[in-house]
Amino acid sequence: MILADANAIAARCRQTLLPLAEARGLRIDDHPLPAVDAPTDQLVAMLEAPEADGVVFCTHGEVLDAVAEPARSRGAAWMPPAASTAKGGAWIVDHRADRAPTLQYSAHSAQLTESLQSGPDLRASRCAQG
């Protein structure tokens, strides 16, 4: 799991990811790219990378909105449209090598945790840091 931003955002992301991390025996790592001021192109590249498979990323809506339209215009149809994530909502991007990426939306992080507890293999979680 990846967390973003070393202050309140990171603390909130950790709170969001902790139940899932505990249930699946995962660690939570801090990472600079899901942060509010991160370079959009680098964040999109990180999300599209094969290494992102099985990783949970946590950040805030404005970060997703900042990457949504540029990513979609570059052909990342799996990226949700800007401003489509409600507060507390989450997107699961499933991009296995054998098919095109798909999206699953959860309106609340508790639903995400329930969905992922018995869902795909997860390696780590990352939280945005500043």
Domain ranges of the chain: 2-128
Q: Which residue has the higher pLDDT, 45 or 124?
A: 45
Question: Is residue 77 over pLDDT 80?
Answer: no
Specify which of 2-11, 25-34, 117-126 reaches the highest per-range mean pLDDT: 25-34
Tens of pLDDT, residue by residue over 15-59, are: 877 887 888 888 888 777 777 777 888 887 877 777 777 777 777
pTM exceeding the 0.85 threshold for the entire prediction: no
Say if CB 51 and CB 64 are below 8 A apart. Answer: no
Pair of tokens at residue 89: 């909502």
Question: Is residue 120 over pLDDT 60?
Answer: no
* Residue type, position 109, single letter: S
Question: What Cα–Cα distance (Å) separates residue 46 from each residue in 35, 89, 99, 126?
Answer: 13, 21, 18, 12
Say if CB 128 and CB 63 are below 8 A apart. Answer: yes
Give the count of alpha carbons within 13 A of 46, CB side only.
Answer: 19
